[in-house]
């Protein structure tokens, strides 16, 4: 299987604590409504301070839901509490954003995750089949995303409009593991206080390409 074509499997990544479960459920159900392919749902979670990890029962319930559409679909819950505590983004632990937003920057450390993933924020709803998005050729870049509507004025190059919103990201995990991108981003989040820290680090450091606005 190449990274240009995803076959019949769609690998989806969510991240967060127990407060995101309703969002994950709604987002996943929207995927199921418009796509009957096999969904491999991966959820990275952790317990950090007052943020509690998602419980196993939720993954079991969610898997029953996705298998009601395609019996081969799966849900995998991965607790990264130990990994997260071993490399805390100390400079950004008290920003307006939950520190667990940065869990996705540990994805390269998780052997269970496949070479290609579509990361979704938990407030992202699907309105049609996402296969064309997922099957976008990503062979030569680390990440792909839609340009951020406001980011170009404050963070990116106005003319290039290349500052990506990180709510929907196509991830070339094979390339990311080889390049060490997420490690560099973790280091940046640990050492430098930023607004929207993980999104800013990804935009600063990644070999990236823009997705069409229709995928926003």
Does residue 213 form part of some domain?
no
Does residue 115 form part of some domain?
yes
Q: pTM higher than 0.85 for the full model?
A: yes
> What is the per-residue pLDDT across 113-151, written as a single tens digit (0 to 9) for each?
999 999 999 999 999 999 999 999 999 999 999 997 655
Coil, helix or strand for 74? strand
CATH number of the domain encompassing residue 46: 3.90.550.10
Does residue 100 form part of some domain?
yes
Does residue 188 form part of some domain?
no
> Is residue 23 within 8 Å of 123, Cβ to Cβ?
yes
Does residue 216 form part of some domain?
no
Does residue 53 form part of some domain?
yes
Which residue range is the domain that position 20 belongs to? Answer: 9-141+166-174
Q: Which residues contact 92 (CB under 8 A, 6 or more apart)?
A: 99, 102, 189, 193, 194, 197
Give the pLDDT of residue 152.
54
> What is the per-residue pLDDT across 167-188, written as a single tens digit (0 to 9) for each?
999 999 999 999 999 999 999 9
How many domains does the chain contain in total?
A: 1
């Amino acid at each position: 299987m190449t990274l240009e074509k995803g076959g019949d499997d769609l690998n989806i990544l969510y991240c967060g604590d127990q407060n995101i479960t309703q969002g994950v459920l709604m987002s996943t159900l929207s995927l199921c409504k418009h796509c009957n392919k096999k969904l491999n749902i991966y959820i990275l979670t952790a317990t950090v301070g007052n943020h509690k990890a998602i419980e196993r029962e939720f993954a079991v319930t969610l898997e029953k839901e996705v298998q009601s559409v395609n019996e081969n679909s799966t849900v995998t819950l991965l607790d990264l509490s130990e990994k997260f505590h071993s490399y805390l983004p100390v400079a950004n632990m008290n920003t307006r954003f939950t520190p667990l937003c940065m869990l996705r920057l540990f994805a390269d450390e998780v052997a269970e995750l496949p070479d290609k993933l579509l990361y979704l924020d938990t407030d992202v709803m699907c309105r049609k089949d996402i296969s064309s998005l997922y099957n976008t050729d990503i062979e030569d870049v680390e990440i792909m995303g839609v340009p951020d509507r406001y980011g170009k004025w404050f963070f990116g190059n106005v003319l290039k409009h290349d500052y990506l919103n990180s709510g929907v990201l196509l991830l070339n995990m094979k390339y990311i593991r080889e390049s060490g991108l997420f490690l560099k981003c973790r280091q940046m989040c640990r050492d430098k206080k930023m607004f929207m820290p993980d999104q800013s680090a990804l935009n600063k450091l990644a070999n990236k390409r823009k997705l069409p606005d229709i995928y926003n």
